[in-house]
Every structure is written in structure tokens, then in C-alpha cells.
Chain A
Amino acid sequence: SAVISQKPSRDICQRGTSLTIQCQVDSQVTMMFWYRQQPGQSLTLIATANQGSEATYESGFVIDKFPISRPNLTFSTLTVSNMSPEDSSIYLCSVGGRTGELFFGEGSRLTVL
């Protein structure tokens, strides 16, 4: 399994501002994923963070709103831009294991006022 650390663990932000969430993995991984979990809902994949190339976004998510960086094989960031209260969610970083399973960080709980 992989150990995944996310920062911040939680934050309260003002409408219109942006927040960058960091994800650090204790081993090199090819693919990293960012998920969102809105209050009372299940997880939704935002994008796949690819090292050395642009992230691949899922339907309904765009780069301007959720820019992602992947500078190396152990680190990625997700920025939530121009935030609104609808962006209040838990944002989760995950990486793939050797047999198709996913390992998740503890999440970053974002509240937008």
C-alpha cells in the first residue's frame, strides 16, 4: 500500500478566492487521481494527474476551474479556483496499487463561505 499525505486537511475560504491542495505519496507512482466528495454524496473523479503531461479531466470538470500540477512521480497539486459555496467538498487524492486497487489520502475538507 501507499502512504498519501494531503495538505491542508481542512480550510475555510472566502468566495472568489482560490486554494491549492497538495498531495505527497511515499513512493513513485505513475498515475494519481483527484476525487471530490460533496456533502452527503459519494465520490466523483475530477481528473487523472499525469506526470509530464496535462491532466485528463472527467466530464463536468475543466482545467480553468481545477488546474492540476504533477511535477514528479510523488507529488501533485489541485487548485480550486474562484471558489463558490458549491465547491464546499472533501477533495481526495488517490494512487493506484499493483492489482487495480486505489489508495486514498485522508482528504482535504473545504468550506467556502
Chain B
Amino acid sequence: DAKTTQPPSMDCAEGRAANLPCNHSTISGNEYVYWYRQIHSQGPQYIIHGLKNNETNEMASLIITEDRKSSTLILPHATLRDTAVYYCIAHNSGGSNYKLTFGKGTLLTVNP
């Protein structure tokens, strides 16, 4: 997996958009960008992933730069329950390769 770099922590006001950046400048052409989050004392939760196009689902949007060297996870209307550690992982999901390398992630704190 390519190395990813995330800020250790971020704050966001409740109801505002939370934009979490991730740098993956050494990502290879067949590696996807995956985002997970871990709410305190729970197992990690898959959020979204993408290769080069922007993606959106019911939880979040993923914006990947054209050169694929960085991405941003957007939570459009953050709530207190979105307070969690968010992990960005660059990973080749080809075949049965599910081995993920988790970094330290970004602790997002949503404030009332």
C-alpha cells in the first residue's frame, strides 16, 4: 500500500461540512483510495472508496485530484456522531487482496 499522510486532528462545527484531507503522492495506478472511520470503542466502519473519479454515497463524498496524489473526504453536514478517527488508505484491491495498512488517521471532533 502506498504511504498516506493525514493531519492528526481536525475540528468541525456541527452542521457544517467536514473536509478531511489525505496525501498519497506515491499512489500507483492500480491503487484505490479507501476511507474508514472508527468511532470510540467500536470497530472500524467502511465509508467510501474511489480510483480516480469523484464518488458519493449516503455517508460522504470523495474528491480525488486529477493527478491522484491527494484526496478529500467530505462529510456534508457533520453531526456529533461523526466524531471519530478517519483513516485514509491507498490499496490495490485486485483479486483477493484485502490486506490493509492502517496509519494513525485523523481524529475529527465535531463540536456543538
Q: Which residues of A contact B (CB under 8 A)?
A: 1, 4, 30-31, 33, 42-45, 48, 92, 94, 96-97, 99-107, 109
Contact = CB atoms under 8 A, between A and B. Distances in A.
A58 to B, nearest CB: 8
8 contacts: A31-B98, A99-B49, A99-B93, A100-B97, A103-B46, A104-B43, A106-B43, A107-B42
Q: Could you say which of A1, A33, A104 has the most chain B C-beta atoms within 10 Å of its C-beta? A: A104
Interface of B: 32, 34, 36, 41-46, 49, 87, 91, 93-94, 96-100, 102-105
The B interface, classified by DSSP as helix, strand, loop or mixed, is loop
Contact of A45 (B32, B41, B42, B99): B99
Contacts of B103: 42
Contact of A92 (B44, B99, B104): B44
Contacts of B104: 42
Contact of A31 (B32, B36, B96): B96
